[in-house]
Structures are given as structure tokens and as C-alpha cells.
Amino acid sequence: MNLLLLGPPGAGKGTQAKRLVAEYGWPQVSTGDMLREARAAGTPLGKQAASYMDAGELVPASVVIGVAKERLMGSDVAGGYVLDGFPRNREQAEALDEFLTERAESLDLVVNIRVDPDVIVKRILGRRACAAPDCGGDFNVYFNPPAAEEICDDCGGGLVRRSDDNEETILNRLDVYRRETEPLIEHYRPSGKVVDIDGAAEPDEVYGAIKAEIEKRRG
């Protein structure tokens, strides 16, 4: 299945995508992760994206669309994928529509994860990730705290915050979401593929609701 996770920053798209990857094996296609990896590697793409990301602005579509399309042409996504953070505005959505039509493919499910802004700000300010390469440890000082402050339970490495996880940038990311990304829910609604999920519930409950929608469609 080809899934799209829509929702504001901090809605839990990444959290739920990782669970879907673990259960169904469909790769997570996250433009945010790809851009962060490019930044960490110091590539021209990473350098180009850095100032937009730190300001909470969208990286120009001319850059992001190419990155996403290249990823979607990989052999590992042939059996399905979980789109997380792409598309993010009408231009990107139209480019994706065109790309899928050319390949006689489509999205099977668009999951709209809804969460109130006050919950989002707390979640994002509390987010911590393990700095150790390949660990993937993911914590939240409010909702899923590590046993020892700023130390990863999994590998003992240090925990870090994302450079765009500060209050000022979060408010801009939310504003950008409302203006640019939220209208995509109505872009996809006529397809009949959109389901609205309460993202304020516990992660297991959110996952259960998404899984139920997937299973309904898989018959």
C-alpha cells in the first residue's frame, strides 16, 4: 500500500511511520529525514536546505520534489511506502499526482492526524533523539522520558534536540502548516482516501486506528 501521513508538526507522523515500517515493512519516505541527513553530511542539498529548516520555512519545491521523486523510484519502495512530510503544499501535491499517474500508481490511504496546537508545542519542545549514529533512540521528556536525564536508554549515548525544535521556529512551522499544508486535506478528500485520526490519543491507540483503516482496505 502507498500511504500518506498528513498532520501538523509534532502530530506523530514520524512516530506512526516507524511503527508501520516495523509491522508492514513499507519504507518510510520522510523528506525531513532526508534533508537532515543531507545537512549532517554537508552536501550541497543540505547546505541549501539549512536556513529554511532552521526558520521553519518550506525548502523550495524545486529542490524537494526532485529528492522525493528520486526516492520513490527506488526498488525498495515497489511494494508500498509511507510518505511522511511530503507533499507539503499544492505544488508538491500536484507534482506527486503527476508522478503517480505517469507510473499508473496512486495513494491508497491518506491519514490525517489531528492534534491541537498547544499539545504540539509541548511535544516538540520535549522531543529528544539519540545522537549516536544508527541508534534511532527516540524520547520525549514529557511523554516518554529516558531513565537518566539526556541519556539514551538504548545505547547510553547523549540525547539531542533538533535545531528547529525551539519555540519561535515551532510557531512558524505551525503557521506554515496552516497556510500551505492543511489545504491538502481538501485536495485529497474527493478521492475518498482520507481518514481523520485523533492524534491526541496515546501512540498505541493512534496506531491501532491507523492499522484498522489499513486492514479495512486490504480486505
Candidate residues 4, 20, 29, 35; the one interacting with ligand AP5 per rule CB under 6 A: 35
Candidate residues 3, 27, 29, 31; the one interacting with ligand AP5 per rule CB under 6 A: 31
**Which one, 45 or 214, has the nearer CB to ligand AP5?**
45
Contacting range for ligand AP5; rule: CB under 6 A; set: 9-17, 39-47, 74-82, 208-216: 9-17
Residues 55 and 61: their CA atoms lie apart, in Å, by 16
Name the nearest CA neighbour of 216 among 198, 193, 199, 200.
Answer: 193
As a whole number of angstroms, the longest Cα–Cα distance in the chain is 51
**Which one, 208 or 218, has the nearer CB to ligand AP5?**
208
Contacting range for ligand AP5; rule: CB under 6 A; set: 81-89, 100-108, 145-153, 184-192: 81-89
Report if residue 96 touches ligand AP5, rule: CB under 6 A. no
Report if residue 137 touches ligand AP5, rule: CB under 6 A. no
Contacting range for ligand AP5; rule: CB under 6 A; set: 21-29, 100-108, 145-153, 196-204: 196-204
A 10 A CB-CB count for 211 gives 15
Per the annotation, the verdict on 13 as an active-site residue is: yes
**Which one, 58 or 194, has the nearer CB to ligand AP5?**
58
Name the nearest CA neighbour of 11 among 193, 197, 169.
Answer: 197
Candidate residues 29, 59, 110, 197; the one interacting with ligand AP5 per rule CB under 6 A: 59
Alpha carbon separation from 144 to 11, 18, 136, 152 (Å, rounded): 15, 16, 14, 12
Name the nearest CA neighbour of 180 among 88, 68, 96.
Answer: 88
Taking a C-beta distance cutoff of 8 angstroms, is the pair 86, 31 a contact?
yes
Taking a C-beta distance cutoff of 8 angstroms, is the pair 99, 21 a contact?
no
Report if residue 71 touches ligand AP5, rule: CB under 6 A. no
Per the annotation, the verdict on 216 as an active-site residue is: no
CB of 219 to ligand AP5, least distance (A): 28
The runs of H, that is alpha helices, within the chain are: 13-24, 31-41, 44-55, 61-72, 90-102, 117-126, 167-176, 183-188, 203-218
Candidate residues 6, 38, 45, 64; the one interacting with ligand AP5 per rule CB under 6 A: 64
Report if residue 203 touches ligand AP5, rule: CB under 6 A. yes
Kindly list the catalytic residues: 13, 88, 127, 162, 173
